Chain A
């Protein structure tokens, strides 16, 4: 059983076709890395999966646990367990970070028929993860992403992932702009989430994060399609020879 199946998806942003018949399957419990040149359509793929309104799917289908999600609202997909760590998390002035995250978490708990967490219970949890990720305590009261440094934004994405416990986790360049300590903390957070059931789709340009989180598969995305899938050994080849060397597999 696949957890996510992307079947021959064609997708446009505006008039421009960006995904051109993309196929990809995520297996439960596995880490799938996606690499590919700038502008190939990696972020567009992640947006397509989570239902961003900029993207129009013209052909193909996306199945999550066997069911098509193309007609689901973004929040429904999220509540069902699909999470995207954004390449560029947006700033939302005046919205308290903890308040936001508690609202999101309680929406999810409600969806799952669980009790909502009260403020005290929630804060206890949040503090635990803040500490683990080496984040400052003022992240509780600051406005969501507002004025956060690049690294702080990325850690805040991981914090949300840890607390929301999604099942399909898409990480769009989580490693960009991170210093060594941050990279280690973020990787630890990701590894903690591995439970044999969750799958990860890790979009990256660098092998460094892959050394930490040990991908099972490497997919090469070029010009709107997955042109090659291989084991982790492919990373070394890509680093050496670049994307030009990759021939599309039959």
Chain B
């Protein structure tokens, strides 16, 4: 407390040119121009990037935190957050890791080597804000594919970055995107050259490790003409007490005839049953189908975080382009999720599909918010939306807010929404056949999510299923 008071009292000094020691691994909490200069310097960024960051910061200061989400939380003190942390030394071996976390890994069927990585034992995973090179690089190089950290990309591929960064999500798009633009510390850059089909699934584990450090990743994926890539973003965070802010930005660009498939499993610490602790996840994800016949597909399985605010979206600019959104969002304990998508139809004969499955248990609150917008020139645009909610127990809630704006009278939009309680009759039917209650619930829940899981890459789907089971364990009865 006293330290906080002091920090506040001296924070005026920061902006007067108080230099942060560049040798430090964690900057003191607080956000001002110096923090941003520090981050940029630590990352050895060129001057133009620093300029962009400072511009974003200036705009951010004038912006207001959005409050329209169906979410309840105490205001975030942005000055109490530390905006940069180099990775801490991890534990020497798995013996030093919290047994509860190991138990969870085991139930998820995560192989031992991977457990070590997740627990921070090995260093060659993305740990905190500094990402480390992945192993596939060589194979990818053969195809001319770029897959590296965004910091490297800023140094090594400035032309691509200048061209595409902020092109899909402008730096002032929203409060969190502006914050991210000012302080992003790492993330991933992918470029698939013309006509190349990426020979493997690309994946990165993001983790939040150092206590009290906001995470601001930035991901940019560009698929050039006729190329294809499938990218998996998977997350896992160890238990902790303090609320942590996470405000990532993901931008996808699909050129003519290109396809990007982006899959997410999000399993950050959700907080306890009273909502204490847990991660605040305010993410901006957007893709543009810039060229004709291009396709972007978002698939997400969201089981973690105390608060999720996230609307992966597609701008369907090219004619005949396709946008897809498949989502399973689970809220249990006291979790709150306000998630959905936006499909912006600009090109002719564009089509989009939205399949959203919300599962609420215990005191979880789940909100779907979706916008389908059909522009005046989007002749022949089609959308199909299906939003289903499943309630387990009677303390939880589900809310659906579909919005439609159509300037083209011929646009075809179909919307279906259902809310069902996990029915006692379904549960009883399975139990009457000798299936125990817990297995019966998980069978019904998996059935409910099937359309989404079937969109995930195979191993990922297996992981998602295990995760769902673990998340809902003990929430019935």
Contact B432 A95 (CB under 8 A): no
Contact B448 A53 (CB under 8 A): no
Instruction: For A79, give the chain B residue with the smallest CB separation.
Output: B434
Residues of A within 8 A of B444 (CB): 92, 95
The complex places the Cα of A160 from the Cα of B429 at a distance, in Å, of 12
The complex places the Cα of A93 from the Cα of B451 at a distance, in Å, of 10
In the complex, whether A225 has a CB less than 8 A from a CB of chain B is no
Contact A50 B432 (CB under 8 A): yes
The complex places the Cα of A164 from the Cα of B434 at a distance, in Å, of 10
Checking A83, A90, A95, A107 against B447 with a beta-carbon cut-off of 8 angstroms, the contacting residue is A95
Checking B424, B431, B443, B451 against A75 with a beta-carbon cut-off of 8 angstroms, the contacting residue is B431
User: Which chain B residues (432-467) contact chain A, with CB distance < 8 Å?
Assistant: 432-437, 439, 443-444, 446-451
Checking B428, B450, B451 against A74 with a beta-carbon cut-off of 8 angstroms, the contacting residue is B428
Contact B436 A94 (CB under 8 A): no
Contact A89 B429 (CB under 8 A): yes
Residues of B within 8 A of A32 (CB): none
Checking A84, A92, A107 against B426 with a beta-carbon cut-off of 8 angstroms, the contacting residue is A92
Contact B424 A53 (CB under 8 A): yes
Contact A78 B431 (CB under 8 A): yes
How many residues of chain B have a CB within 8 Å of chain A?
A: 23
Classify chain A: how many residues form its interface, as a range. Answer: 20 to 34
Instruction: For A146, give the chain B residue with the smallest CB separation.
Output: B447
In the complex, whether B153 has a CB less than 8 A from a CB of chain A is no
In the complex, whether B23 has a CB less than 8 A from a CB of chain A is no
DSSP majority for the B interface? helix
Instruction: For A84, give the chain B residue with the smallest CB separation.
Output: B432
The complex places the Cα of A79 from the Cα of B434 at a distance, in Å, of 5
Given contacts A93-B447, A95-B446, A143-B447, contact A78 B424 (CB under 8 A): no
Contact A100 B451 (CB under 8 A): no
Tell me how far the C-beta of A226 lies from the nearest C-beta in chain B, rounded to whole angstroms: 23
Residues of A within 8 A of B431 (CB): 73-75, 78
Contact B432 A74 (CB under 8 A): yes
In the complex, whether B96 has a CB less than 8 A from a CB of chain A is no
Checking A53, A108, A143 against B434 with a beta-carbon cut-off of 8 angstroms, the contacting residue is A108
Residues of A within 8 A of B15 (CB): none
Tell me how far the C-beta of B385 lies from the nearest C-beta in chain A, rounded to whole angstroms: 17
Residues of B within 8 A of A73 (CB): 431, 437
Contact A75 B437 (CB under 8 A): yes
Residues of A within 8 A of B448 (CB): 93-94
In the complex, whether A86 has a CB less than 8 A from a CB of chain B is yes
Given contacts A74-B428, A89-B429, A100-B443, contact A94 B434 (CB under 8 A): no
Residues of B within 8 A of A89 (CB): 429
The complex places the Cα of A83 from the Cα of B428 at a distance, in Å, of 12
Tell me how far the C-beta of A119 lies from the nearest C-beta in chain B, rounded to whole angstroms: 16
Contact A94 B447 (CB under 8 A): yes
The complex places the Cα of A164 from the Cα of B451 at a distance, in Å, of 29
Residues of A within 8 A of B428 (CB): 52-53, 74
Supply 7 further A-B pairs (C-beta < 8 A) apart from A75-B437, A94-B451.
A50-B432, A53-B428, A78-B432, A84-B432, A92-B443, A107-B439, A144-B447
Between A and B, 20 residue pairs with Cβ closer than 8 Å are A52-B428, A54-B424, A74-B428, A74-B432, A75-B435, A78-B431, A78-B432, A78-B434, A83-B432, A86-B432, A90-B425, A92-B429, A93-B447, A93-B450, A94-B449, A101-B433, A104-B433, A107-B434, A107-B436, A111-B434
